[in-house]
Chain A
Amino acid sequence: MPIMTVREALRQALHEAMQDERVFIIGEDIGHYGSTYGVTAGFLEQYGPERIRDAPIAESGIVGIAIGAAMVGMRPIAEIMSVNFSLLAFDMLFNHAAKIYAMFGGQMTVPMVLRTTNGWTQLSATHSQSFDVYFAHMPGLKVVAPATPYDMKGMLKAAIEDPDPVVFIEHTLMYTVKGEVPEERYTVPLGKARLAREGRDITVVTYSRMVHLSQQAANILARDGIEVEIVDLRTLRPLDMSVALESFKKTNRAVVVTEDWQSFGTSAEIAARLYEYGFDYLDAPIARVNFREVPMPYSKNLELQTVVTVDRIVEAIRKTLS
């Protein structure tokens, strides 16, 4: 099977999707600039400005237009350059994309995808955020955040084919992550978690980039004979906890690793569900590893103390096992 990066996998998914005449991409600097993270580089030349729509810096307009176009049979993919700017489009997402199907009694669908990206690297307070929990909180949206090139391609394809609005969350520090991606066309269904690593001692429940950091932590712990099982949730709404619960019932201990602020964050929901449905299997309090709860500092040293690191995951696992 060919090995490729997350970026290349996403590009393949988009190229395949563009074969459907209804699909078009709208976003800032996706065409003339050559794409902020290189995902749509060359698309303008290949598909033309009608379908690769360089948009003004107007996030609300971009998402609103995607919603309207979706309502009349198009399959728009709106790209929000980074998730930080999605705040300007929250009204569109929350009050329209998420509600139009239910609020009008199922008359209309909004088959759009919003692609955006989390991430940080000395970009400081306003450019280093994660709003996974805001998206995932909203009934009516489907929210996915895959970790591997295989899932990136398969789930982006599934998201584009889905009749409901899907928020597709990438990560700036993952575009160069490599993995196997088959040549043939395939989709990976939304709403299905997967086992990313088998182990009998403890369960790490996580998603997106934290899957890779958790793997590194597991490799370190493996040297001490500790077997870590890793569950990659892949989709945040709806949240499939079946794989995590099955694992938890075996290991009886869990660490939840998410790259966002802890209070009321995604890890709170995940841990709550483990307690709710796995209480009888609990041998130790569930630990959480997240961002420190501060606006992201610029200073490299402080930034590295704020984000989730492999060391912090290792430490949390050891503590939960002790």
Chain B
Amino acid sequence: MAHHDDHGHNSSGALPALSSNSGLDAATLIDYYRQMTLIRRFEEKCQEMYTKARIGGFLHLYIGEEATAVGAISALRPDDHIFTHYRDHGHAIARGLDINALMAELFGKVTGCSKGLGGSMHFADVRKNFWGGYAIVGSHLPLAVGVALGMKMQHRDSVVMVFFGDGATNGGEFYESLNFAQLWKLPVIFVCENNLYAMGTPLEVHSSVTEIYRKACAFDMKAERVDGNDVLVMREAALRAVEHARSGKGPVLLEAMTYRFRGHSAQDTQKYRSKEDIERYRRNDPIARLRALLLNEGIATEQQLRDIDRIIDDQVEASVRFADESPEPGREWIMQAGVYAAPIAVDPPIHGE
């Protein structure tokens, strides 16, 4: 089990170097930079739109954790499956969901990925086997196990990757899911994004075991703790886990050490940590680290990366325009036909429908 104790505790001020020699070509590495930057810029725009009251409800930003989603999801095939929690923007973008549909979802428009019915916490796109963001902490883990069971029973070799936080590993569903998955040797990659807080409760206050990956040992499950802010380390761990799961050996628990730079949600006043804390962790910014690698190794030039940033800014602006101009969902969505695949008409009808 790999164990990176030094996660985030880099006091020297230097950017922790990414593990290089990934064997990946320049285009791929640059694409990871593009994806991570797209997530960040998209979310910065979300925050802005939230402040302008264009977005309502809860808004949980993934800023600071981008390498985890991008690295982990890069290990999947299109026919593999993803489940995630309410902090789902990063996973959706890493899976290639159209950011126009994502911004439209946040604006509550019918062109949204969930027709404007789900909002920030419920992005989904079945065409991409992106089965959605779920907002009851830990409760989507059994669903992911169920999809894996479905794959096994259909003799398909697709795997399921499910993302959740450190806080989710204290609830019963986590343990039930690990047990089921290991008992039945199901192809599930459990990815715990350990960002050191469950809302405002620090890891050591909420979990008796703070090395989350060790919780897997009760199930004799393969587990690893990795630097989730190193996109390449994250990718390699995910590749190992996917290979294990796909070959029928059963599930894996990956603990990705990361840190969110923003509040738990847009409303969070962050009384539980200091500005200095956050600044210290900023030195471990996953995007800055990848950028440094690309430049230091001569994989990309400043100019190239700046061009990418500019294209992303344009795309994000375009997504706001798209969302703005899109229509809202119609009344049909609050009829019984919006609630059931096969609504049953009764007499007298519900709401007089």
Contact = CB atoms under 8 A, between A and B. Distances in A.
Given A66-B146, A238-B350, A107 B153 contact: no
Contacts of B163: none
A302 interface: no
B27 interface: no
A140 interface: yes
B103 to A, nearest CB: 15
A71 B147 contact: yes
Interface in B129-153: 131-132, 134, 136, 139-151, 153
B150 A73 contact: yes
Contacts of B113: 105
**B interface bracket (residues with beta carbon within 8 Å of A):** 35 or more
A92 interface: yes
B342 A162 contact: yes
B118 interface: yes
A106 interface: yes
Nearest to A61: B176
Contact of B134 (A96, A190, A240): A96
B147 A69 contact: yes
A58 B179 contact: yes
Given A107-B114, A140-B340, A67 B146 contact: yes
B153 A50 contact: yes
B314 interface: no
A190 B347 CA distance: 13
B153 A105 contact: no
A105 B113 CA distance: 8
A106 B341 contact: yes
Nearest to B122: A103
A101 interface: yes
Interface string A107-139: 111010000000000000000000000000001
Interface in A224-257: 235, 238-242, 245
Interface in A70-97: 70-74, 76, 91-92, 95-96
A240 B347 contact: yes
Contact of A65 (B112, B116, B149, B345): B149
Contact of A56 (B139, B149, B179, B340): B179
B346 A70 contact: no
Contacts of A210: none
B136 A107 contact: no
Nearest to B340: A164
B153 A71 contact: no
A64 B141 contact: yes
Band of interface residues on A:
35 or more
A109 B341 contact: yes
Most buried by B among A61, A142, A164, A240: A61
A277 B142 contact: no
A70 B146 contact: yes
Contacts of B339: 101-102, 139-140
A163 B337 CA distance: 13
A73 B154 contact: yes
Interface string B138-182: 011111111111110110000000000000000011001101100
A101 B342 CA distance: 11
Contacts of A163: 341-342
Nearest to B144: A68
Contacts of A104: 114-115, 117-118, 122, 124, 126, 132
9 contacts: A50-B153, A61-B179, A64-B143, A68-B149, A69-B147, A71-B131, A76-B146, A191-B344, A239-B346
Interface of B: 81, 112-118, 122, 124-126, 131-132, 134, 136, 139-151, 153-154, 172-173, 176-177, 179-180, 183, 329, 333, 336, 338-342, 344-348, 350
